[in-house]
Amino acid sequence: MPPRAQPGALAPTGSGVLDGRLIVVDPGHNGRNFEHVDVRRPTIDGSEGPLCNTAGASTAGGVEEVDIVWEIGSKLTSLLRRQGATVVVTHVDNDGFGPCADERGTIAKYVNADAFVSLHADGAAAGSSGFHIIHPAPSPRLQPTSVTSSARLAVFVRDELVVIGGRPADYVGDEGLHERDDLANLNTADRPAVLAELGNLRNGLDADLLSATSSYEPIARAVARAVVRFLGAVPDPNRLSADIDGDGQTDLLIGAPDWMVPTTTTTSAPLPPPEPTVPAPTTQPPPSPTSSSSSSTTSPAATG
Ligand SMILES: [Zn+2]
């Protein structure tokens, strides 16, 4: 098995609402994974296990998921460190192979992370669009608290992406949330853990969005806000950042860093509106289970 990239711990660069917290950021895949797509994990008995790690999806124009999530993950890492968090990244550059999907989750368990966030973009059918946040299903190997806290974290991430104009997926999950029992990194993390599929790269709207580097900062800030709210580092985290007191106006959380102000309040929405790219049929066909993403149907270790 070729050598896998190693995680790295990045010290805080500031002090703030995340002082003393430890977050694992996992930019999905790695830049040289494409050279090792057939590598499988050895199992305890020596037989071949699941795929170590896949190369990831890409847009029709050739923009790679691995590069998109690396950039967003780097911005997310920077934001979290500035607010006092130590961030462990599953790989320190985008020019290696791995770690394997299960190893990425194990890192979060090993360091007893306060949260594990894995960033991805999907490669589903072109007619499908939107983001979805995957959280682990109950399993004997996971503490019940990990399962429930992961579901909570997923809601925060979903909500914050909606705040900046994100559209929950129209092809998988339920209102942007999807519970799964087959993702190796979520199944090994046993900490509050989510895998964000930020959009479908095979869809034109999503591909345009995620190919635009101007989208990366708002997305990173949204995910960072979700982590801050999840960790209870701000008063009343159960309110949307966009409207803390429910008066219809956007509010800044008391004691929150200024980057928690949703970017949609000062700039145009970075995400495209939910306009259909084709004339809407008079009746909506039911979602086809076979239309879900390639990564949703591959082996447990294939995503991550
Ligand atoms: Zn991926």
pLDDT 10s digits, 197-243: 999 999 999 999 999 999 999 899 899 989 988 997 665 555 555 55
Domain annotation for the chain: domains and CATH numbers: 8-297 (3.40.630.40)
How far is Cα 88 from Cα 91, in angstroms, rounded to an integer? Answer: 9
Put simply, whether the predicted model's pTM sits higher than 0.75 gets the answer: yes
Distance from the alpha carbon of residue 122 to the mean position of ligand 1, in angstroms? 6
- Average model confidence (pLDDT) across the chain: 83
Which residues neighbour ligand 1 (ion) by CB within 5 Å? Answer: 28, 56, 120
Task: Tell the residue number behind the tokens 């072109």, with chain if given.
Answer: 126
Distance from the alpha carbon of residue 8 to the mean position of ligand 1, in angstroms? 20
Distance from the alpha carbon of residue 132 to the mean position of ligand 1, in angstroms? 12
Count of Cβ atoms closer than 10 Å to residue 63 Cβ: 18
Distance from the alpha carbon of residue 266 to the mean position of ligand 1, in angstroms? 31
Mean pLDDT, residues 140-167: 93
How far is Cα 50 from Cα 29, in angstroms, rounded to an integer? Answer: 15
The residues assigned a catalytic role are 197
Distance from the alpha carbon of residue 299 to the mean position of ligand 1, in angstroms? 13
Residue 51 reports pLDDT greater than 80: yes
Distance from the alpha carbon of residue 55 to the mean position of ligand 1, in angstroms? 8
What pLDDT is recorded for position 235? 55
pLDDT per position as a tens digit, 55-113: 999 999 999 999 999 999 999 999 999 989 999 999 999 999 999 999 999 999 999 99
Q: Which residues contact 241 (CB under 8 A, 6 or more apart)?
A: 160, 163, 225, 229, 251, 253, 260, 261, 262
